[in-house]
Every structure is written in C-alpha cells, then in structure tokens.
Amino acid sequence: MSQTYINELSNHIDSTVVLKGWVYNSTNKGKLNFLVIRDGTGICQCVVFKPNVGEELFQKSLTLTQESSIIISGKVKEDKRAPGGFEIDVASMEIIQIALEYPISPKEHGIEFLAERRHLWLRSARQHAILRIRHELIRAMRDFFDGRGFTLIDGPIFTPAACEGTSTLFETEYFDLGKAYLTQSSQLYAEAAAMAHGKVYSFGPTFRAEKSKTRRHLTEFWMIEPEVAFNDLNDNMDLAEDFLEYIVGRVLKNKSAELQTLERDTKFLQNVKRPFPRISYDEAVKILLKKEIAFEWGNDFGGTDETIISQEFDRPVLVHRYPSAIKAFYMKRDPENDKLALAIDVLAPEGYGEIIGGSQREDDLTKLEERIKKHKLPMEAFNWYLDLRKYGTVPHSGFGLGLERTVSWVCGLEHIRETSPFPRMINRITP
Ligand code: ATP
Ligand code: MN
C-alpha cells in the first residue's frame, strides 16, 4: 500500500492508510497508547489500542521515543477535537528506528541552544510554519513577475567590483585575476538585462560583510530585484505596492494554518492593500522631530527611526527622495532639487522597517561619469555599465526586496534568524 500524507487524510475517511513519519509525542493511558505522528505535511493522532493490535505490538509502541521513525497503517476517523481533525485507529506498525534521547523537548530552550541545533530545530512546529510561509512568498514573488511579462535573469555571484564601495563585501582569491567579491546586489547586471528584455528580475543569494549585529541583518540573504526599462520613480512605487499587496495576499490565502501556528495577528496583513501612503524623506524627518527624536536632516534613518516612522501607518509606507549624499552613485537626482536622489525605501508596518530599497537610475552618461569620480570608484570597472548609457539609454528603475526581512514581517518574528533554514550571521556559521 502506498503512503498517504497527513494533509490528504480528508480524502481517506473510513479507509485504511499507511502513514510514514516521526513520533512527535506519546501518552500512555492503560490499554491505549496515543502517538502523535508528524510527516512533514501535518500532525495526526494515532491510537494504539491493546485489544486491537495484540500484546507484542502494544508493548513495542510503548518503547517509542520522541522522533522515532515509524510506518503505521490504520483506519482514518474524522474527529473534530483531534489536532488536524483526524485520528488513525492503528492496525499495524513498523518501527524503523527508536530515536536516541532527543535534545529538543517541548520545554523552553535558550536561543543559542536551538541555533546550535538548527538541523533538528527545523522539525519544530513553529520553524516548520515559518519555512512553509517562506516558500509561499518565494512562489508568490516568482508568480507575480512571471505573470507580468518579466524575464528572470540572475546576476553573477562572483563579481569583480563593488556596487557601492568595498567596505561591506566578502572577498576571495580568483585565480590569476586577483580578487573577486561575493555579490551584494545584482542591480547593475539587471540594468543591462532590462535594456535587452525590457522587464527583468533577478532572485538570488546576496552577501553583506557589514558588522551589523541587529535583529534585521544576515550576512547571507536572498534578494529579489526587478528592473524595468522606461519606468520612472512613480512607476517604480506602483510596482512595489502592487508586488507587496500580491505576495502578502498569497500568504493570507494559502498559509492561514501556518499563520495560526505562529499566532500571527493578521490584522495588519489584511491591511496591505493599495494605495500605500507615500511620504518624502523631508516628511519622514518631520515625523521624527515631532516625536522629539534628535535627528539631523541629511542623515540616514537608523533602525529605530524606521520603526518610529513605520508605526505612524497601518500599512507599508513608501519614503521617497532621500538626500543624494547618503545614496548610491547610480541613483538619478531629482530634477527639481539636486540635493535629492529619486530613491525609495518601503518600510513595513508594526515597526519592521525597511524591506525594499530602490530608485530611478541615472541614465545620463556625463552625470554618471562625474558621480563615479566623485565617489572615488574605479572608472575601468564601470566601463561596461557606462556602455548602457552610450547605446540607447532610457529612463529606468528598479528595487531590491529582502526575502528574509519580508518573511520576518509577515510571520511577525522578533529576529530574522528564524527566517532562513541555516542562517549566516557575523557570530554564526554553523551548522
Ligand atoms: P539597511 O540599511 O537596513 O542595512 P540597506 O539599505 O543596506 O539595508 P539595500 O542595499 O537597500 O539595504 O538592500 C535592499 C534590501 O535588501 C533591503 O531593503 C533589505 O530588505 C534587504 N537587506 C539588506 N541588507 C540586509 C541584511 N544584511 N540582511 C537581510 N536583508 C538585508
Ligand atoms: Mn536600502
């Protein structure tokens, strides 16, 4: 008989099925042994009743420890009170392995203890729900762009030069060619691809060697970066809004059980509907000053500043037109005020802060060359990039959204480390 998965049990009421999985919990009450089995798709209570299975099998079932691997067959009964809504009346059972004493018990453990055992921690209900939501977000992100005529074109992971200076890059020796750096953004490559395909996106791992020990920084994370030829700043903001509304909607629609496992209050997620508020950097500064935060015009917002700004709104807020001095060289200046860059950040509500950074790009050759000089970047490294402004330059825009920050917000997590299957942080590279 072939395996049935726990999330398919509703199709098998009153028939006999085979479940393959692991013991999550067990409770013995006289002639009854209750085994809670998980199989990756859900959990199900399996009832071993001595008169039904006989003395030998019953005794064997009493030896099952947490995480022991087994194959069970029995009849599916609907039971509204049971977790998952079904129960199995066990007829036979094959033990694959009696697990050694499992280090992660239902009691509370310290975060370092769990992080060190991430390979096992993944089995816990909470972690399971988070990674399912992560998967749904990835699928939704791809579906969004694939369904709107975008072509997926990934940038390289080994890059010859920094996008925005070298301070936050991981470097490695690259044969006879000197140093290579792990990518911190595919944007420049996405720009080249947009000039070939019009609408493109890249989606891949991104590396930042910044020494940020915060609840929002990983050294390795995934970023999705759309880039669109002929989009201006407003088109870029429209795209970001549309995109966030879609991906959050998909999680609400398809992952409600997981959100429930996480005890996520979805009120704010239900609010993620266009139009989002749009405020300028100047207006964001005013919010901080009104709250008597010591903030000087021209500085970048720190994590707490973003938290305070985002708490003013019931849905994501777009902040546009930042001082050009704090933004990357490739961002186009505001034609109405040269001190400002046509940049946007999207801050997630509930204090989560920046999840998207983007801009309209500088499309003028001379201005871009000046900017590269002013930022003291090596001109030779950008020759190919400057070609894009020599051969049919057009206005264009794009942004980068960090997957893990988005997962953290959607799941309502305190720390980004739980959003990655095997997170990499400045103080952790194992397991
Ligand atoms: P921050 O100022 O919060 O460190 P950033 O401005 O350096 O972020 P960008 O270069 O704009 O980030 O990158 C685009 C997006 O990538 C960010 O909006 C965020 O979602 C994500 N991101 C950036 N750095 C990290 C990181 N270290 N860990 C996880 N996600 C990140
Ligand atoms: Mn940013």
The rounded distance, in Å, linking the Cα atoms of 78 and 13 is 7
Closest C-alpha to ligand 1, atom 22: 402
How many whole angstroms from 182 Cα to the centroid of ligand 1?
A: 15
Pocket of ligand 1, candidates 405, 416, 426: which has the most ligand atoms within 8 Å of its Cβ, to mutate? 405
User: DSSP secondary-structure letter at 392?
Assistant: S
The rounded distance, in Å, linking the Cα atoms of 207 and 212 is 13
Cα–Cα distances in Å, from 60 out to 4, 21, 87? 23, 16, 20
The rounded distance, in Å, linking the Cα atoms of 261 and 85 is 15
Instruction: Give percent of the chain with pLDDT exceeding 90.
Output: 93
SS (H, E, C) 211-260: CCCCCCCCCEEEEEEEEEECCCHHHHHHHHHHHHHHHHHHHHHHCHHHHH
Pocket of ligand 1, candidates 183, 187, 221: which has the most ligand atoms within 8 Å of its Cβ, to mutate? 221
The rounded distance, in Å, linking the Cα atoms of 140 and 403 is 12
Tell me the pTM.
0.96
Collapsed DSSP state (helix, strand, coil) of residue 97:
strand
Cα separation of the two ends of the chain: 37
Taking the CA of 346 as reference, the closest ligand is 1
Residue 165 has pLDDT above 70, yes or no: no
- Under a CB-based contact definition with an 8 Å cutoff, are residues 402 and 197 in contact? no
Render pLDDT for 358-404 as a digit per residue (tens, 0 to 9).
Answer: 999 999 999 999 999 999 888 988 999 999 999 999 999 999 999 99
Render pLDDT for 230-264 as a digit per residue (tens, 0 to 9).
Answer: 999 999 999 999 999 999 999 999 999 999 999 99
Average confidence (pLDDT) over 140-161: 96
Whether 221 is in the pocket of ligand 1, judged by its Cβ within 6 Å, is yes
CB < 8 Å & 24+ apart, contacts of 277-285: 277/313, 277/315, 277/317, 277/318, 278/237, 278/317, 278/318, 278/320, 279/317, 279/318, 279/319, 279/320, 280/319, 280/320, 280/321, 281/319, 281/320, 281/321, 281/322, 281/323, 281/340, 282/321, 284/309, 284/319
Backbone angles phi, psi at 134, to 5 degrees: -55, -45
Confidence bin at 84 (pLDDT 50/70/90): confident
The rounded distance, in Å, linking the Cα atoms of 216 and 354 is 9
Q: What is the pLDDT of residue 30?
A: 95
- Under a CB-based contact definition with an 8 Å cutoff, are residues 317 and 281 in contact? no
Q: What is the pLDDT of residue 166?
A: 56
How many whole angstroms from 424 Cα to the centroid of ligand 1?
A: 15
Render pLDDT for 272-308 as a digit per residue (tens, 0 to 9).
Answer: 999 999 999 999 999 999 999 999 999 999 999 999 9
Average confidence (pLDDT) over 19-43: 96
Confidence bin at 168 (pLDDT 50/70/90): confident
Closest C-alpha to ligand 1, atom 5: 357
Whether 425 is in the pocket of ligand 1, judged by its Cβ within 6 Å, is no
Whether 60 is in the pocket of ligand 1, judged by its Cβ within 6 Å, is no
Render pLDDT for 337-366 as a digit per residue (tens, 0 to 9).
Answer: 999 999 999 999 999 999 999 999 999 999
Average confidence (pLDDT) over 37-52: 96
Collapsed DSSP state (helix, strand, coil) of residue 425:
strand
Whether 400 is in the pocket of ligand 1, judged by its Cβ within 6 Å, is yes
Measured CA angle at 184 (ends 299, 245), to 5 deg: 75
Measured CA angle at 331 (ends 323, 161), to 5 deg: 115
List, as one string, the DSSP characters of 147-180. Answer: TTT-EE-PPPSEESS-SS-STT--EEE-GGG-EE
From the centroid of its chain, how far is CA 231? 26
Whether 358 is in the pocket of ligand 1, judged by its Cβ within 6 Å, is no
Mean pLDDT value across the chain:
95
The rounded distance, in Å, linking the Cα atoms of 329 and 162 is 12
Closest C-alpha to ligand 1, atom 9: 357
Average confidence (pLDDT) over 41-70: 96
Residue 192 has pLDDT above 60, yes or no: yes
Residue 164 has pLDDT above 70, yes or no: no
Confidence bin at 82 (pLDDT 50/70/90): confident
Average confidence (pLDDT) over 170-194: 95
Taking the CA of 301 as reference, the closest ligand is 1
Whether 132 is in the pocket of ligand 1, judged by its Cβ within 6 Å, is no
Residue 2 has pLDDT above 80, yes or no: yes
Confidence bin at 325 (pLDDT 50/70/90): very high
Confidence bin at 212 (pLDDT 50/70/90): confident
The owner of tokens 């003013």 is 312
Confidence bin at 211 (pLDDT 50/70/90): confident
Taking the CA of 163 as reference, the closest ligand is 1
Confidence bin at 167 (pLDDT 50/70/90): low
Whether 405 is in the pocket of ligand 1, judged by its Cβ within 6 Å, is yes
The owner of tokens 């953004």 is 185
Average confidence (pLDDT) over 219-223: 97
**CA Rg, the chain, in Å?**
26
Nearest to 32 by CA among 64, 62, 76, 6: 62
Confidence bin at 105 (pLDDT 50/70/90): confident
User: DSSP secondary-structure letter at 38?
Assistant: E
- What sign results for the dihedral spanned by CA atoms 332, 337, 339, 340? negative
Pocket of ligand 1, candidates 208, 222, 399, 419: which has the most ligand atoms within 8 Å of its Cβ, to mutate? 208
Cα–Cα distances in Å, from 168 out to 182, 183, 206, 210? 10, 10, 11, 5
Residue 163 has pLDDT above 60, yes or no: no
